Amino acid sequence: MSATLTEPDAAPRTPTTRPPRPPKGSSAGARKKKPLPWAPWALLGPSIALLIVMVVYPTIVMFITSFTNLEIKNKMLGTAPDFVGFDNYLEIFTDSQFPQVLARSLGLMVVLTVLIVVFGMLIGLTLTKLSKAWRLAVSIALLFAWAMPPLAATVVWGWMFDTDYGVVNWALNTITGTQDWRGHGWLENPWSFMMVLVIIVTWQSIPFAAITFYAGLGQVPDEVIEASSLDGASAWQRFRLIILPYMRNVITAVLVLETIWNLRIFTQVYSLQQQGGLASETNVLPTYLFRQGIGEFGTTAAIGVFMMILLMSISYFNVRNSLKDEEEL
């Protein structure tokens, strides 16, 4: 992905660094005209078409819809919706729930991203120290967690935390030797709900971070590490001053991806809300969007536009920094 993004930036500089071309007309000169530009375009065409159909067009439609009062009725009866200006945006921003939903979403995103990156890095580092057989076993275990469909995983986690028949309550009762945890509803309290949610999402997201970091750790040259340890650098110093700088691009990429994924998290929240808890006190932006009235396309599109702007502004600096780094290399 990043390679394609840098292409236009990098292109203008290349001619100056290249050796001058041989003068025209020599050896195979007659056939070596300036190559027609159709080949790259033909290769790029399908992906550009896909992007236009699947990203650009829906985005434009969403943007337009957010300024209308489009309803299912309009679609079924073939009538045009009215343009309502910023009414939809006003409706969201003045909704009493919205500030809480936004704060909850951002808070959840920060907590999840930090946990995933920290634990992902720890497991990635552990993988480098393991023997081959163990490394294989741990990698497979990680991939299983990652490969499981989030909906199925959340339902199973929900059962484990079930109020009446959950294994968590049973285990806590057994460990403490009491009946204090009988009928304890883990999802009733919004904070407790969020804790369960964080466990589920972190559990499922760590494998991606861990395996990516492990791949990145392979790029750190052994001789530099060895030299630094001979110079008396402690493990923490080696990590902070050598491994981290080498891994900066990988970490940035994981951070950006996790930030985006964690802010638009839907499946786990929605499915857990089906199993218990209060939706109005546990909604994040995507579930809040989904729970607007049936077919209220205007309001939902406005929330969508807001989320898009939010995500773009959060990712902007990270993406720009990583692009800069690549240019410098």
Partner 1 sequence: MRKLGIVALGAAAALTLAGCSTGGGDNGSADGGEITVWVVGTDTPKEARAYLKDTFESENKGWTLNVEEKTWADVSDTYAAALQSNDSPDVVEVGNTQTASFADQGLFLPLDDFDSSAYLPGLVDSATYDGELYAAPYYAGGRIVFYSPEVLGDTALPTTLDEYVATGEARKTDTVSGIWAPGRDWYNALPYVWEHGGFIAEQEGDEWKAGFSSEGGIEGLTQLQQVYLKASNAPKDGDETDPQVPFCAGEVLFLSAPAWVQWSITAPADAEAPGCPDTYGKDLQAFPLPGGTAGETAPIFAGGSNIAVATKSANPEQARAALDIMAGEGYQKLLAEGGLTPGLTAAASSLPDTPIAKAQATALENSKVTPTTPKWAEVEASQIIQEALVKIAQGGDVPTIAADLDKQIEEILNS
Interface residues toward partner 1, by CB under 8 A = 3-4, 40, 43-44, 46-47, 49-50, 71-73, 75-77, 163-165, 179, 182-183, 185, 187-188, 274, 276-280, 290-291, 293-295
- Count CA atoms closer than 13 A to 252's CA, side-chain side: 19
- Closest of 240, 203, 250, 239 to residue 125, by C-alpha: 239
- Beta carbon nearer to partner 1, 259 or 283: 283
Residues 6+ apart with CB under 8 A from 159: 165, 166, 167
Token pair listed for 191: 């904070």
Determine contact, residues 124/217, Cβ cutoff 8 Å. Answer: yes
Backbone angles phi, psi at 108, to 5 degrees: -60, -40
Least distance to partner 1, CB of residue 156, Å: 16
- Beta carbon nearer to partner 1, 47 or 219: 47
- Beta carbon nearer to partner 1, 49 or 241: 49
Least distance to partner 1, CB of residue 163, Å: 4
- Beta carbon nearer to partner 1, 128 or 280: 280
- Beta carbon nearer to partner 1, 81 or 276: 276
CA distance linking residue 265 with residue 105, whole number of Å: 9
Residues linked to residue 83 through DSSP beta bridges, in sequence order: 68
Determine contact, residues 238/225, Cβ cutoff 8 Å. Answer: yes
Rg (CA), the chain: 26
Least distance to partner 1, CB of residue 145, Å: 26
Least distance to partner 1, CB of residue 212, Å: 20
Least distance to partner 1, CB of residue 13, Å: 18
Cα distances (Å, whole numbers) of residue 312 to 151, 259, 285, 296: 27, 11, 15, 25
- Beta carbon nearer to partner 1, 7 or 222: 7
- Beta carbon nearer to partner 1, 188 or 327: 188
Least distance to partner 1, CB of residue 6, Å: 12
SS3 content of the chain, % helix, strand, coil (to 5): 75, 0, 25
CA distance linking residue 281 with residue 285, whole number of Å: 12
Q: Which residues of 51-78 are buried (b: 16+ CB within 10 A; e: fewer)?
A: eeeeeeeeeeebeebbbbbbbeebeeee
Determine which helix (DSSP H) or strand (DSSP E) holds 41, and give its type and residue range: helix 38-51
Determine contact, residues 300/285, Cβ cutoff 8 Å. Answer: no
- Beta carbon nearer to partner 1, 50 or 61: 50
Least distance to partner 1, CB of residue 58, Å: 14
- Beta carbon nearer to partner 1, 72 or 103: 72
Least distance to partner 1, CB of residue 87, Å: 13
Least distance to partner 1, CB of residue 299, Å: 12
